[in-house]
Amino acid sequence: MKDFKHYLALASILSVGFGLFWIFNYNRNYQAYITIGLGVVYIAWGTVHHLLKKEFYWHIFIEYLSVATIGCVIVIYLLSRT
């Protein structure tokens, strides 16, 4: 798997983000900021990953943006309900 380092970086970033989310379970605002930060980093990672592979197209960027947005909206909505 030639992109192992890329996916390892993504897994590491997401693990740190999930860890921070768990550590700050007492503050919903911090959790919302962490969620948005993870969404932004996910979009940036996807963009850089595809640029390095020379396979970047706008529809791929829109896909990463959509997934991150939907994920953030769902998590923040659930945080606001508790």
Token pair for residue 57?
């197209």
The structural domains of the chain, with segments of one domain joined by +, span 24-81
Going residue by residue through the chain, which has 82 residues, state the pLDDT in tens, using 9 for 90 and above.
788 999 999 999 999 999 999 999 999 999 999 999 999 999 999 999 999 999 999 999 999 999 999 999 999 999 999 7
Contacts of 71 by beta carbon, 8 Å cutoff, 6+ apart: 35, 39
- Collapse the DSSP code of 64 into the 3-class scheme (helix H, G, I; strand E, B; otherwise coil) and give the result: helix
Contacts of 32 by beta carbon, 8 Å cutoff, 6+ apart: 75, 76, 79
